[in-house]
Every structure is written in structure tokens, then in C-alpha cells.
Amino acid sequence: MFKGKSLPYRTNLWYTAFIFILSVGLIIMISIAGHMAQRTEAQQNLIRSVERNMDEIEVDDGVLDIESDFAFKNGDVNTVVFSEAGEILAGEYPEGISTDEPLQNGEFRTVDIDGKDYYIYDSIIEYSKYEYKINGVTGDVFSNESEGIDGYTPYEGDLNIKGDGCELTYAEALSIALEDKGISEDSVVLITAKVYEYYDNPLYELEFYSAEKAHEDVWVRGVVRADSADGIWRTITIIAFMLLPLYVAVASFLGYRIAKKSMKPIKELRETANEIQSGQDLSKRIEIDDSDPDIKNLSDSFNNMIGRLDSSFSAQRHFTSDASHELRTPVSVILAECEYQLSEDLDEEVRESIESINKQALSMKNLITQLLSFAKIEQGSHRFEMSEENLSEIVRSVAEDIAKIGTNNIEIICQLQDDITMTMEVSLMARLAENLISNAVRYGKENGFVKVALARQGTDIVFSVEDNGIGIAEGDMDKIWQRFYRVDKAHSREDGCSGLGLAMVKQIAELHGGRVSVESEVGKGSIFTVIFPDGNGQNRI
């Protein structure tokens, strides 16, 4: 999946997957947390509803008195009022359900009714509890409707007792309160009795339960569906999941942009390196205006490496060039001497020897010339004089020269479009044509043909040399462009072949912005093609 993909692409794919997983996790977590918070809120709301209703309900003399503020339905909470015996006095359960869940004061619980969870909270109003304040001050006994005395304003249910020299004891206060409520003293369970000093007299605050209830207790029960507000969270979760692709797409897009931006210096680095590689100009250096120290280090290392390569290649080039130059003179002398000797009247055996020396010296001369050309090309394009020339003429002249030397009865057919011109180094372009045509003849078939074609195709100039000779095996097709590679080593050497011809063709073509290719079949022949894409040969010059 990642093969051949750029680093920003791969980074972004990981990042998008990460964002996706993170988002899904986050939505699920938020949904669960929201859901839990909502349930807690529903539980508290239920308790609040019940307790608020407790203040709105009374039983006076056995008659249930529900005030108008009593809410039988508060939001999703339903309130049901029960008698002490567990009979419903008022209100109803939600959704028409019913349950025999026992009443439990102040107990919150979750109850399964008809397969669904309901929250239930009960609270009891205990009418057996009495609260009293008895103010025992000197003076007359007042009923609870009386006006307060000596600055004390009685509250509802309070008793003010005032009499001459009256100073109430606790027992007297209790007995007054019981009498007021008509409860016998034996039935009382006292819970609290607070005594305050009020204008030097005791003020009793009494809370007590009676075994003899004035009337029955009343229960208030709140009921709500546990998942009553779950729907909101379900909707929120669904919407969040629906928006997820959009969100991930936006995050992915932005992530890709950021990754691409951060990779820009690397891209620049790569492009400069490519430029150096394709231009084969090792004198170039990578210059990146980036403050990132890592990138800076990388480009420095790169430049150092290119620097070292440059000096080592240059040393090699100089050696080839110097060695070739030095060899040229002795080879020329050998050839001149051979020529001189061959012009003399010689013994047959001696003549054969000299002819053999002459042949090898010629082959060496050819090799030296090729090596010198390589060295020249590699030293850079500035060493060449480029000019606009007629390629058709050059190819024709090369083909005619080769035909004159003798071609093993091979016919050279020229299909050259006239006046194709391009910017070139004439001697190199002539060498390119010569190497291809002479190869076609050398590896051609006796009485066969060599077709030399040159044409403009769109903006391209296409030069091809075809033969019906021995052909090239599939496995050798890539290697023939390498220096000193010869398919049939033994045989080729006899012909004085160096294995440099095609390497030179490739180098000359590339120097002129062109590219080379070959199609071949063993025993059937080969076709070598050189294409100069923009037709002006100036790409590399």
C-alpha cells in the first residue's frame, strides 16, 4: 500500500488513521461520559422533584390536601401519592406501567419494570411527628392565634402561656402541648426538647412522636425512565459519527499540507541532487535557505560527498586524458613506421607481422580517440563548440563513408528527412551516427541491409539505425551501453572492437538532451533509436 508513495503521503495516511481512531474513541468516551452525567442528573432531578412536592402536600384531619404547586409531572418525572397501606391516593406511573416495588423512605433505586429500567425515589410524610414551641412566660395563657407578648411573635403552632407568677417547667410545657393536640402522655416518644431563655422565662422547643397517630402517614413516590434523556445523547453521538468523515477529511487535508510543507526542504534537496545527477555537473552544490539544523546538516553532508566525488572523478578524468595523450604519440609513430615498412619490398613473413602490428596499432588508435572523447565530454559541455547544424547532411555523409569502406555486401538504405537541423557539436554527432551505423554493419548479415532513418516527429527528432543481423539477447540489452562491454568478447576483440562505441553513443545523446533505446531479437536483427525530445539538442548544453 505504501510502496512508491511519498513520505508526506505515508505520514498523512498514518496520521489520518490515527486521527480517525482517536476521534472514534473520543466520540465514544464523550457519549459514555455524557450519558452517565445525564443519568446522574436525572437521578438528582428525581430526588429534587420528590422533595419539592413534599412541601406541597398535607393531611388535615384525615383529608389529603394537595396544594396547587404540587407537580404530578415534572419534566419526565411522574409523582404518585400513596397511603400508608400502599394504596395510590393520587397521581399515576409513567407510560401506564405499574409496579409492586415496596415503599422505602429516602432510598433511591433502579427498578426493572416490563424490561425497562426506571428510577424510583420514595419519601414519607410522617404525621405522627409533632413540633411545638411553648413559651412559658408570666401572665395569661394564650391560644396560638394570640398576639405575641413582650416582643415575642408566635409562629403558627406556637403556644404562649402567660399567667401571674407563672414559670413553666418542662413537664408543664409538655403537658400543655399534649393537651393541645389531644394526645395522652403515655403514647409519646420524645425526640428532642430544647429550652431557651426568653425574657428570663424558658421557651421550650419540642419535637415528639406519638404512638397514637392523629392520622395516617402519606408516601410520595417519584418515577422516571432511566433512559428518558438518552435520546439526546444518541442523537448527539449519531451526528458526531456522521460528521466524522468530514472532520477526518479536513484534518487529513490540513495534515497533508503541513507534512508537504515540512518536506519542502527535502524536496528541494532531492531536486538539486537530481539536477546535479542529470546534468552530471559535480561542480554544482545544494543551497537551501532553511534554518532547520537537520536539513542544513543533511545538505552539508551531501555537498561534502559531491565534493569528494567531484575531485575523485576529476582525478580519474585527468588520468584518462593524460594517459591517452601520452599514448597517442607512440601509437602514431608505430603506425607511421608500419606504413613505411609496408610500402617496402618485404619478406612475406615479415609483411604479415607488420600488418598484424599495424592492425593492432589502428585499433589502439581508435581506442585512444574514444577515450579522449569520453574524457572531453566528462570534463563538461563548456569544452564544446555548439552550433546549429544540418543533421540530415551529417548522417548522410557518415553513411556514405561507411558504405565506401566496404560492408560485407550489406546494403545501407538511407531514409533521411531533408534539412533537419539542431544545435550540436558536429564531431560528436558524427561519431554517434558512425558508431551506430558501423555496429549495424559489423553485426549485420551478409547480403542483408542496414536502414538509417532520420525524421521529425512533432517536436522530437528521431534517429534510428536498423539491421537484420545477429541481434542481441534479452539479458545483454541493458549491458551493451556500459563501457567495455562486448557480447562476444573473443570474436569482437579480433575485429578491434573496444566495447566503447555504444557507451559513447549514449553519452553523446544525453549531452544533447536525447535518450537512447534498443529493440532486438537474436537472429533477426536490432533497431537502435535516439530521440532528441525538444529537437534543439540544447538540454544539457
For residues 441 and 526, give the distance between their C-alpha atoms in angstroms, rounded to a whole number: 11
Residue window 517-536: x/- pattern of binding to ligand ADP, with contact defined by CB under 6 A: ---------x----------
- Candidate residues 282, 422, 470, 509; the one interacting with ligand ADP per rule CB under 6 A: 470
Q: How far is CA 6 from CA 234, 256, 286, 303, 315, in A?
A: 40, 11, 21, 24, 37
Minimal distance, residue 515 CB to ligand ADP, in Å? 17
Determine how β-strand 63-66 pairs with β-strand 57-60. Answer: antiparallel
Task: Report how far residue 411's alpha carbon sits from residue 42's, in angstroms, rounded to the nearest whole number.
Answer: 102
Q: Which residues contact 269 (CB under 8 A, 6 or more apart)?
A: 286, 288, 295, 298, 299, 302
The CB-of-396 to ligand ADP minimum distance in angstroms stands at: 20
* Residue nearest to ligand ADP as judged by C-beta position: 501
Name the residue nearer to ligand ADP (CB basis): 299 or 435: 435
Q: Does 439 interact with ligand ADP (rule: CB under 6 A)?
A: yes
Cell of 204: 421550650
Q: How far is CA 419 from the centre of its chain?
A: 56
Query: Is 440 one of the binding residues for ligand ADP (CB under 6 A)?
Result: yes
Total count of residues recorded for the chain? 541
What own/partner pairs with CB < 8 Å and gap ≥ 24 does 394-403 have?
394/426, 394/429, 394/430, 394/433, 395/433, 395/452, 395/454, 395/463, 397/430, 398/430, 398/433, 398/434, 398/437, 399/433, 399/437, 399/452, 401/434, 402/434, 402/437, 402/438, 402/441
Question: Exactly one of 432, 472, 508, 530 binds ligand ADP (CB under 6 A); which one?
Answer: 472
- Cβ–Cβ < 8 Å for 417, 456: yes
Is 423 among the residues that bind ligand ADP (CB under 6 A)?
no
Least CB distance from residue 468 to ligand ADP, whole Å? Answer: 10
* Least gap, CB of 271 to ligand ADP (angstroms): 32
* Residue numbers 157-216 binding ligand ADP by CB under 6 A: none
Q: How far is the CB of 443 from ligand ADP (least distance, A)?
A: 3
> Based on CB atoms, which residue is closest to ligand ADP, 352 or 488?
488
Contact present, 158 and 148 (Cβ < 8 Å): no
The grid cell for 445 is 548479415
C-beta of 204 vs 443, nearer to ligand ADP = 443
What mask of x and - would describe binding to ligand ADP in positions 480 to 509, judged by CB under 6 A? x----xxxx---x----xxxxxxx------
Task: Name the one residue in this structure whose C-alpha cell is 424490561.
Answer: 115
Nearest CB to ligand ADP, comparing residues 331 and 480:
480
Contact by Cβ (8 Å): 147, 229 = no
Looking at beta carbons only, is 492 or 539 nearer to ligand ADP?
Answer: 492
Tally of CB atoms within 10 A around 174: 20
Q: How many residues make contact with ligand ADP (CB under 6 A)?
A: 23
Among the listed ranges 96-104, 307-315, 433-441, 509-517, the one in contact with ligand ADP (CB under 6 A) is: 433-441
Query: Candidates 130-138, 191-199, 271-279, 437-445 — which segment interacts with ligand ADP by CB under 6 A?
Result: 437-445
For ligand ADP, the binding residues (CB under 6 A) are 435, 439-440, 443, 467, 469-472, 480, 485-488, 492, 497-503, 526
